[in-house]
Amino acid sequence: MNVGVLGAGQLGRMLALAGYPLGLRCLFLDPAEDACAGQVAGQIVAPYDDPGALDRLAARCEVVTFEFENVPEAAVSRLAARHPVYPGPRALAAAQDRLNEKNLFHELGIDTPPFAAVSSRGELDAAAETIGLPLVVKTRRLGYDGKGQAVVREPAELEAAWKRLGDVPLLAEAFVPFEREVSVLGVRARSGECAFYPLVENRHRHGILYLSRPRPGDPFTDAAQDWCRRLMEALDYTGVLALELFQHDGRLLANEFAPRVHNSGHWTIEGAETSQFENHLRAICGLPLGETRAVAPTAMVNLIGNLPAREAVTAIAGAHLHDYGKEHRPGRKVGHVTLRAADEAQLDLSLQRLLSLLPG
Instruction: Give the Cα separation of 207 and 210 in Å (integer).
Output: 9
CB of 272 to a copy of itself, least distance (A): 11
Q: Using CB under 8 A as the criterion, what x/- string covers residues 314-333 for binding a copy of itself?
A: xx-xx-xxxx-x--------
Q: Which stretch binds a copy of itself (CB under 8 A): 58-66, 138-146, 197-205, 308-316?
A: 308-316
Helix (H, G, I), strand (E, B) or coil at 207: coil
Q: Which is nearer to a copy of itself, 45 or 312 (CB)?
A: 312
Q: Which is nearer to a copy of itself, 9 or 335 (CB)?
A: 335
Q: Which is nearer to a copy of itself, 322 or 333 (CB)?
A: 322
- Phi first, then psi, for residue 223 (nearest 5°) are -60, -45
Q: Does 307 participate in binding a copy of itself (rule CB under 8 A)?
A: yes
Is 186 within 8 Å of 195 (Cβ atoms)? Answer: yes
Q: How far is CA 315 from CA 106, 275, 308, in A?
A: 48, 24, 12
- β-sheet with 42-45: strand ranges across: 42-45, 25-30, 2-6, 63-66
Q: Which is nearer to a copy of itself, 143 or 305 (CB)?
A: 305
> Terminus-to-terminus CA distance in the chain, angstroms?
44
Q: Does 151 participate in binding a copy of itself (rule CB under 8 A)?
A: no
Total binding residues toward a copy of itself, as defined by CB under 8 A: 35
Q: Using CB under 8 A as the criterion, what x/- string covers residues 336-355 for binding a copy of itself?
A: ----x-x-------------
- Phi first, then psi, for residue 191 (nearest 5°) are -75, -10
Q: Does 216 participate in binding a copy of itself (rule CB under 8 A)?
A: no
With left for phi above 0 and alpha for psi between -120 and 50, is residue 109 left, alpha or beta?
A: left
Helix (H, G, I), strand (E, B) or coil at 347: helix
CB of 265 to a copy of itself, least distance (A): 16
Work out which of 217, 311, 359, 360 binds a copy of itself, going by CB under 8 A: 311
CB of 39 to a copy of itself, least distance (A): 8
CB of 295 to a copy of itself, least distance (A): 6
